[in-house]
Amino acid sequence: MGRKANTFNQATIKNFKYFPNELIKTFTSDNGKKFFKFKELERELGVSCYFANTCHSWERGTNENTNGLLRRYFSKGTDFSKLTKEEVNKTAWSINNIPRKCLEF
């Protein structure tokens, strides 16, 4: 359990450092084992972590919507370590430029 949590935290902290602190206030997750060490995320990122209730995917609506958008480009089970940086960046650009109601289009 600890190893997955450590790996997740390392990757999350590394990637969230690219964003200005004022853009990240909270972190909402499911109840998976990889979130076992959420206190480290709170401390390192200066955010509050929240957990969605089990089987309440609507509590993480933007996340669920984004997962669905990713599935348009990559099938479930895709090994992202085998993708090029360009492939990932192109997909991220495409998804980030879809007009969204939650971002006022």
Classify residue 13: in a domain, yes or no: yes
Cα–Cα dist 54/101, whole Å: 26
pTM: 0.61
Classify residue 79: in a domain, yes or no: no
Domain coverage including residue 30: 2-74
Under the banding of pLDDT at 50, 70 and 90, the label for residue 31 is confident
Length of the chain: 105
Classify residue 26: in a domain, yes or no: yes
Classify residue 61: in a domain, yes or no: yes
β partners of residue 50: 28
Classify residue 101: in a domain, yes or no: no
Classify residue 42: in a domain, yes or no: yes
Classify residue 100: in a domain, yes or no: no
For the chain, the average pLDDT equals: 87
Total number of domains constituting the chain: 1
CA atoms within 13 A on the CB side of 39: 0
Residues 6-15 have pLDDT tens digits of: 899 999 999 8
> Which residue carries 């969204």 as its tokens?
100
Classify residue 41: in a domain, yes or no: yes
Residues 60-90 have pLDDT tens digits of: 888 888 889 999 999 988 998 899 999 999 9
